Amino acid sequence: MGSTQTDPPSAGPRKVIVAGAQLGPVHVYTPLSETIERMIKLMDDGHQKQAKLIVYPEIAPVTFFPRHILEGDELEQYFDREVDGDPAKSPNLKPLFDRAREYKMDMYLGYAECTGDDHVHYNTAVYYSGQVDRVISKYRKVHLPGTFEPYASKDATNQLEKRYFKPGNLGFQAFRAPDLIPGAVTQKSGTKPNEPDTLGKGDPIMGMLICNDRRWPEAWREYGLQGVEVVLCGYNTTAWSPDLLGTSEKISTREKAKEEALFHNKLCVAYNSYANACFSINVAKCGVEDGKYPLIGGSCIVDCDGAVVVEASTEEDELIVAEIDLAMCRRGKEKVFAFERHRRIEHYGRIATQTGVVEPEFL
């Protein structure tokens, strides 16, 4: 039911069934082929449930390797390279793209990227459109948590993302997912975006984040300012790492620390979905990797009012599915968060010019 030159823009619901493919633990010794098989099984399940978009976790196909000190081939084994500039041809990842193509399913796929020409490492996610059968957007993680050097204590859980990745260099580019929603105004209908009669009626506007990015409102706002309707975010979030997260009485036990990590996850995605009037699909790799590294679950699809629509109940491979109606985004975008009427950019200068805190002078 695509639009034609003469179709009026659809004013009704903008519904689509979407899925988050949470993955249970992937250990150092787990063969890659086994994880890819698990991921494909989740996609099969999504197809059965009529999902048109599937979201996988951050660096989905392999263990969360930045917790280990690695070099040479031991490190390189975790990275994927594009072939002819196309991630869909990367031998390790190709089976996922092939199955998505078969189902005409859109896909957010997180993986560790090694660029072909200059051998730079990024923590990357790509968006494959099953409708046009190609990768239409790439995002490289901007906010890299943790440290470059390992912690002094040998019992510490490291998060060596600053060692293994360069900060993303692609910014926060929102993009349209062509034909994901029947009846949406498209390129083919001959109309232009940002006209009063097309606003909020076009092919859906998507944005990608990776894990730690979701804690930074600036990242969401970058997308909010492009009218984002769905933010996609895969994550690997440690449930216990006092060196990384600090300690306090409140989180003195492993159970309490995990509860807090789950709470912060939900807090970030719920508030930022609300404040940017968008849905978000947030997907974990979780459970205990290598018998000693716990990652939180809590994968969830959140609506544009900040309410959790569906949430994973396990720390294993689990598909969460929901039908979402993007027309719901209009209320927030046109009332409370009508940016063009209410934002006061003359007061936001520090946000884009200052990195660290500068405290006020003493009185």
Instruction: List interacting residues with ligand CDT (CB under 6 A).
Output: 58, 145, 159, 211-212, 215, 235-238, 244-245
Task: Give CA–CA dist 140/115, Å, rounded.
Answer: 12
52, 138, 141, 333: the active-site residue = 141
Nearer to ligand CDT, 22 or 212 (CB): 212
Nearer to ligand CDT, 257 or 320 (CB): 257
Task: Give CA–CA dist 146/166, Å, rounded.
Answer: 13
| 220 contacts: CB under 8 Å, gap ≥ 6 | 209, 214, 231, 272, 275, 276
Query: Directed axis angle between helix 94-103 and helix 32-48, to 10°?
Result: 10
Task: Give CA–CA dist 304/224, Å, rounded.
Answer: 11
Shortest Cβ distance from residue 121 to ligand CDT (Å)?
A: 15
Nearer to ligand CDT, 234 or 306 (CB): 234
What six digits make up the tokens of 2? 């695509």
| Neighbouring-strand partners of residue 293 | 289
What six digits make up the tokens of 41? 């099984």
Nearer to ligand CDT, 236 or 276 (CB): 236
Shortest Cβ distance from residue 265 to ligand CDT (Å)?
A: 7
Nearer to ligand CDT, 286 or 321 (CB): 286
Task: Give CA–CA dist 125/252, Å, rounded.
Answer: 34
Shortest Cβ distance from residue 331 to ligand CDT (Å)?
A: 30
Nearer to ligand CDT, 21 or 296 (CB): 296
| 4 contacts: CB under 8 Å, gap ≥ 6 | 188, 189
Shortest Cβ distance from residue 162 to ligand CDT (Å)?
A: 11
Nearer to ligand CDT, 140 or 201 (CB): 140
Residue 119 falls in which region: left (phi positive, over 0), alpha (psi -120 to 50) or beta: left
Q: Which runs of consecutive H residues, i.e. helices, occur in the chain? A: 32-48, 73-76, 94-103, 161-164, 217-224, 242-245, 254-275, 329-334, 339-342, 349-353
Shortest Cβ distance from residue 62 to ligand CDT (Å)?
A: 13
Task: Give CA–CA dist 69/54, Å, rounded.
Answer: 32
Strand 15-22 versus strand 53-55 pairing type: parallel
Return the number of other C-beta atoms located less than 10 Å from residue 346's C-beta. Answer: 6
Shortest Cβ distance from residue 222 to ligand CDT (Å)?
A: 17
Q: Any idea how long the chain is?
A: 363
Shortest Cβ distance from residue 288 to ligand CDT (Å)?
A: 16
3-class DSSP state for residue 274? helix
Active-site annotation holds for 58: yes
Active-site annotation holds for 233: no
Active-site annotation holds for 250: no
82, 113, 138, 211: the active-site residue = 211
Catalytic residues: 58, 141, 211
